[in-house]
Structure 1
Amino acid sequence: MKIWIDITNSPHVRFFKDIIRYFQNEGEDLIITARQFGDIYKLMDMYGFDFISVGKHGVKLHEKLKESTARVDNLVDILAHEKIDVALSKHSIELPRISFGLGIPSVYVLDNEHAEAANKLTLPLCDRLIAPGIIDMWKLISYGANPNKLIRYNGTSEIIHFKSFQYNENIFNDLNLNLSGSKTILMRPEPSLASYLDANCRESVLSPIVEVLKDYANILILPRFKEQAEIFEGIENVTILKPPVDTSSIIKRCDLVIGAGGTMNREAAVLHTPVISCYPGTLLSVDQYYINKGLMFRSNDTDEVINKALSFLVNSADKPEIHHDDLFKLIIDNVYDLAENGK
């Protein structure tokens, strides 16, 4: 069986790593394409995956359109003469459009109901849509999703990141981090270049939070790109991590995570590390999932975030157990079923 997987964002590498390895071990023929964006290429190399580099990410709106259009053109040249049985992606703009045009059955994983432009361009074209049960089905239908093709599960996509996770408790030593304090906070800036968030890539909502909390804990910053790293350079007691790194072990080793994004916050919730979300955009249902379970605190008020952070550093938080569906098996089963039985 020949499977096409398209990777368009850094967290998607962790999402697909065990799926890729499973299909490789089963002897399936994989075509993996990836665009130049964030740490995708570094992470693919770190996991030892062969891939075809196709396209890049635009910053301004017209650039996003031009780059996506060019990427479709280049991908068609690569894939048109391949006999692909099924295609698989997570929020790829291009894969559903190409799969539909070339008659390739597609499995699409989504977790962001607020990515309006992306969802309108992709959801109507997919043969199987796998989404968390907490996302409002009617919201997806409003984008053109076929409810008969929608497969829902209990949990979020981050649960699959830890299928083969092995915790490295010596991660700080391995990274040669010179940390003077007894407590450590990992911070992740906002996804400033994303189409669904109106943000300045040279500013961060984390700046005033860092300014206060650096006096109480070691601060680790994991930037998304160079401009974000520059925001926090030269600040006392602040260490800027250079990806790719074992983020999962870092999250588990830290006393607290404060994130202005999404994926890493939810990873912290899965790992039961106290986490505060200060994401500046509209709250996602997948974040609400962990807030409802008492595994994530959310606020956009700087003082409230700081006070809650200090409370977490002093008092150990409760860690309620959560039970997820087997998302890994759900994806594997649907890929095989779609390849064998068609749409």
Structure 2
Amino acid sequence: MKIWIDITNAPHVRFFKDIIHHLQEEGEDLIITSRKFGDIHKLMDMYGIDFISLGKHGVTLDEKLKESTNRVNELVDVVSSEKIDVALSKHSIELPRISFGLGIPSLYVLDNEHAVAANKLTLPLCDKIIAPKIIDVWKLLSYGADPNKMIRYDGTSEILHFKSFEYDDDILKKLELENSLPKNILMRPEPSLASYLDTDCNESVLSPIVDVLKEYSNILILPRFKKQAAIFEGIENVTILKPPVDTSSIIKKCDLVVGAGGTMNRESAILQTPVISCYPGVPLSVDQYYIDKGLMFRSNSTEEIINKALSFLVNPPKHTKIKHDDLFEIIINNIYDLAKKA
């Protein structure tokens, strides 16, 4: 069986890595495509994934449209000559459109109900859509999703990031970090270049939080791009991490995570590291999933975030067991199910 997987964002590399390795071990023929954006290429190399890079990410709306259109053309040239049985992606805009046009069955993984443009362009074209139960199904239907094509599960996509995770307790030593204080806080800035968030990539909501917490803890910043890294350069007790790094082990090793994004916050909740979300947009349902379970605290008040952070550093919350469906099995089963029906 020949399977096409398109990976268009850095967190999706961790999401797909175990699926890719499993399918390869099963003897399936994989075509893995990607694009130039963030740390995708470095992470693919880090996990030993062979891929074809086509296209890049656009910043402005007109650039996004042009780059996506160009990427469709480039991808068609690659996949149209292949006899692909199933196509698989997570929030790829191009794969569902190409699969629909070429008559390839497609399986689409979704976890962001606020990505209006992406969802409207893709959901009506997918043969199967896998989405968390926490997301309002009526929201997805409003984008044109077919309710008969939806598979819903209990949990979030980040549970797949840890299927083969091996914790490295010496991760901070291996990174040779000069930590002058006994506590460590990992921070992740907001996704300023995303189409669903209107923010200035020259600023960060984390800046005033860093200014205070740097006096109490070593701050590790994992920026998304160079301009974002520059915001935090030269600040005392602040270290800017250079990817690719073992973020999962860093999360587990740190005393606290403060994130203005989404994926790393949810990873922290799963790993039971205290996490504060200060995402500047409307919260995603998948974030609410962990907030409801008491595994994530959310606020946009700088004062409240700082006070909660100091509280977590002194009195970390107790661990809570999480029960969720086997997303890995759901995806694998639906890949083969689609192939049989093709």
Give TM class, smaller chain.
Answer: over 0.9
The CA deviation at 1:167 is 0.1
Question: Which residue of structure 2 aligns with residue 224 of structure 1?
Answer: 224
**Separation in structure 2 between the aligned mates of residue 246 and residue 277 of structure 1, nearest angstrom:** 21
Question: Which residue of structure 2 aligns with residue 113 of structure 1?
Answer: 113
User: Structure 2: which amino acid aligns with 1:82?
Assistant: E
TM-score after normalising by structure 1:
0.99
Question: Which residue of structure 1 aligns with residue 327 of structure 2?
Answer: 327
Question: Which residue of structure 1 aligns with residue 4 of structure 2?
Answer: 4
**Separation in structure 2 between the aligned mates of residue 319 and residue 121 of structure 1, nearest angstrom:** 40
Question: Which residue of structure 2 aligns with residue 98 of structure 1?
Answer: 98
Question: Which residue of structure 1 aligns with residue 65 of structure 2?
Answer: 65
User: Structure 1: which amino acid aligns with 2:323?
Assistant: H
CA offset digits 1:199-246 (Å, max 9, x no partner)? 111100000000000000000000000001000000000000000000
The CA deviation at 1:340 is 1.1
Is 1:33 the equivalent of 2:24? no
Question: Which residue of structure 1 aligns with residue 149 of structure 2?
Answer: 149
The CA deviation at 1:106 is 0.3
The CA deviation at 1:168 is 0.1
Structure 1 stretches of at least 4 aligned residues deviating more than 2 Å after TM superposition: none
The CA deviation at 1:155 is 0.2
CA offset digits 1:286-310 (Å, max 9, x no partner)? 0000000000000000000000000
Question: Which residue of structure 1 aligns with residue 198 of structure 2?
Answer: 198
**Separation in structure 2 between the aligned mates of residue 88 and residue 316 of structure 1, nearest angstrom:** 39
What SS does the aligned partner of 2:265 have? helix
**Separation in structure 1 between the aligned mates of residue 318 and residue 46 of structure 2, nearest angstrom:** 34
Question: Which residue of structure 2 aligns with residue 128 of structure 1?
Answer: 128
What SS does the aligned partner of 2:96 have? helix
Question: Which residue of structure 1 aligns with residue 309 of structure 2?
Answer: 309
Is 1:24 the equivalent of 2:3? no
**Separation in structure 2 between the aligned mates of residue 123 and residue 316 of structure 1, nearest angstrom:** 40
User: Structure 1: which amino acid aligns with 2:331?
Assistant: I
Is 1:213 the equivalent of 2:213? yes
Question: Which residue of structure 2 aligns with residue 241 of structure 1?
Answer: 241
What SS does the aligned partner of 1:281 have? coil
State percent identity of aligned pairs.
78
The CA deviation at 1:35 is 0.5
Is 1:300 the equivalent of 2:306? no
Equivalences for residues 283-294 of structure 1 within 5 A: 283-294=283-294
Question: Which residue of structure 2 aligns with residue 43 of structure 1?
Answer: 43
The CA deviation at 1:83 is 0.1
Question: Which residue of structure 1 aligns with residue 340 of structure 2?
Answer: 340
Question: Which residue of structure 1 aligns with residue 267 of structure 2?
Answer: 267
What SS does the aligned partner of 1:11 have? helix
What SS does the aligned partner of 2:55 have? strand
What SS does the aligned partner of 1:304 have? helix
What SS does the aligned partner of 2:258 have? strand
Question: Which residue of structure 2 aligns with residue 79 of structure 1?
Answer: 79
**Separation in structure 1 between the aligned mates of residue 13 and residue 160 of structure 2, nearest angstrom:** 11
Q: Which runs of 5+ in 2 are unaligned?
A: none
Q: How many residues were matched structurally?
A: 342
**Separation in structure 1 between the aligned mates of residue 81 and residue 175 of structure 2, nearest angstrom:** 45
**Separation in structure 2 between the aligned mates of residue 215 and residue 63 of structure 1, nearest angstrom:** 41
The CA deviation at 1:318 is 1.9
User: Structure 1: which amino acid aligns with 2:262?
Assistant: G
What SS does the aligned partner of 2:239 have? strand
The CA deviation at 1:316 is 1.9
CA offset digits 1:108-156 (Å, max 9, x no partner)? 0000000000000000000000000000000000000000000000000
User: Structure 1: which amino acid aligns with 2:256?
Assistant: L
What SS does the aligned partner of 1:248 have? helix
Question: Which residue of structure 1 aligns with residue 281 of structure 2?
Answer: 281
**Separation in structure 2 between the aligned mates of residue 258 and residue 281 of structure 1, nearest angstrom:** 15
Q: Which runs of 5+ in 1 are unaligned?
A: none
Question: Which residue of structure 2 aligns with residue 167 of structure 1?
Answer: 167
User: Structure 1: which amino acid aligns with 2:292?
Assistant: N
